[in-house]
Amino acid sequence: MRIHIQNGRLIDPKNHIDAVRDIYIADGRIQPFDTPPTGFHADRVIDASHLVVCPGLIDLSVRLREPGLEYMATLESEMSAAVAGGVTRFACPPDTDPPLDEPGLVEMLKHRARNLNQAHVYPIGALTQGLRGEHLTEMVELHDAGCIVFGQPNALPKNLRVLMQAMQYAATFDFGVWLSPQDIHLAYDGVAHDGEVATRLGLPAIPVCAETIAIANIVLLAKETHVRIHLCRISSAEGLAMVRAARQQGLKITCDVSINHLHLSDMDIGYFDSNCHMIPPLRSFSDRDALRAGLIDGAIDAICSDHAPVDDDVKLLPFGQSETGATGVELLLPLTLKWGLEMKRPLVEILAAITCRPAAILGIDAGVLAPDAAADICIFDPEDYWKVTPSALLSQGKNTPFLGMELPGKVRYTLVNGDIVYQSVEKLSALPLRR
């Protein structure tokens, strides 16, 4: 399909472009700006006046709950949610049931996702078999099946020797290793940040040192093994300071923060709101503020949704027994915009955290809006505030701490490889169709 996007405010964070441009798309690729290629006849013209046109968003953590956890969500529901959120590429953590530790599982997931013809899916291969932290997975086989990085979600393996060898093996083939910096013994039975809120509510606590000690271990092992490390979900100011220090020593280490930790603190747990039950836990105000600032100065590379669709049955339980996580892929853009507005930073800067910077972490050629790039595009109205309600979300998971909030940024169109894979329903009548 050939598409002409008219009068949009093109923002390409990678090339620092923020200007009104006309975009022409043919053969799934972006053509040179402003003048149509010779012989170009648009099948479809999109009037993007007053809208932002940016690269399709890239989310470093979206759980599809397949295989094995289909009662929480399905590939269909979550893929639709992703493109409704403007997300065109995302990584899936391997914490499925069974975990993504065999090539067959990865191939099946990639195949099912490809058939839906929506966003590009990047399964994160399990670093150890069954994620048990004991034996290495067949990383090369998994890579051939479609895994470009390998991870161990939620906590570090107990056995650091296994972790070191997994890093060495991954480094042999230059595979990136994605780790969740949480020490399993220090986190133990904890469900909330070790601070005044957990003390008042009598919730078993997770100290900050569960994160910092894990980061210290990872940093020392990274020095030993020279592997590319990505830290998933930094939650504390002290942890972030350690990442800064490691980088100053020249280590290849990146990190991300979730939309939840960017906006919330343990105070938001209120009277035991199980929607705020997260791994890692929501920490203090000062931790949150350090994370918000760390994204501006580049210490944190990317924002992710940490999308975890969870059904009501497992949330309507006492806080400590409730399932962790929140739905989020449809809130990635609004909550990134909200953070940018609050920090008073320009769009071209803040959108980098959900486009070109996560692309670099994944090591993929994406997250740009330039001639000859794949036409993965998100078109949104930054002025349109909408209320987060269960019916406004396409994800099967409706549980999020942001329910009831008004957030900025409504996606109007999402394009993948030059095809319109999503357009917002309420604007359908206004579509200028041309043949």
Rg, the chain, Cα only = 21
Of 97-105, 137-145, 196-204, 358-366: span binding another protein (CB under 8 A): 196-204
C-alpha to C-alpha distance for 424 and 21, rounded to whole angstroms: 22
Q: How many chain residues touch another protein (CB under 8 A)?
A: 27
Check binding of 157 to another protein (CB under 8 A): no
153 prior amide bond cis, ω within 30? no
CA distance 320 to 327: 18
Compute the distance between CA of residue 374 and CA of residue 405 in angstroms, rounded to an integer. Answer: 34
Q: Does 209 bind another protein (CB under 8 A)?
A: no
Supply the minimum distance, in Å, between the C-beta of residue 340 and another protein.
24
| Binds another protein (CB under 8 A): choice among 33, 272, 385, 386 | 272
- Which tokens belong to 110? 């990639």
Helices and strands, counts by H and E, the chain? 14, 18
Residue whose CB is less far from another protein, 202 or 346: 202
Residues for the chain: how many in total?
435
| Site for another protein contains 200 (CB under 8 A) | yes
CB 355 within 8 Å of CB 58: yes
Query: Is residue 330 a contact residue for another protein (CB under 8 A)?
Result: no
The window from 16-24, 210-218, 224-232, 312-320 that contacts another protein (CB under 8 A) reads: 312-320
**How near is the Cβ of 209 to another protein at its closest, in Å?**
12
**273 scored as a contact of another protein (CB under 8 A):** yes
Lookup result for tokens 């391997």 = 94
Query: From the CB of 391, what's the least distance to another protein, in Å?
Result: 17
By the rule CB under 8 A, 391 interacts with another protein: no
Among 108, 403, 420, 431, binds another protein (CB under 8 A): 403
DSSP codes joined into one string, 24-91? EEETTEEPPSSSPPTT---SEEEE-TT-EEEEPEEES-B---TTT-TTT--HHHHHHHHHHTTEEEEE
- According to the binding rule CB under 8 A, does residue 275 interact with another protein? yes
- Least Å distance between CB 190 and another protein? 11
Binding segment (CB under 8 A) for another protein, from list 57-65, 113-121, 264-272, 413-421: 264-272
Q: Which residues bind another protein (CB under 8 A)?
A: 194-196, 198-205, 207, 270-273, 275, 313, 316-321, 401, 403-404
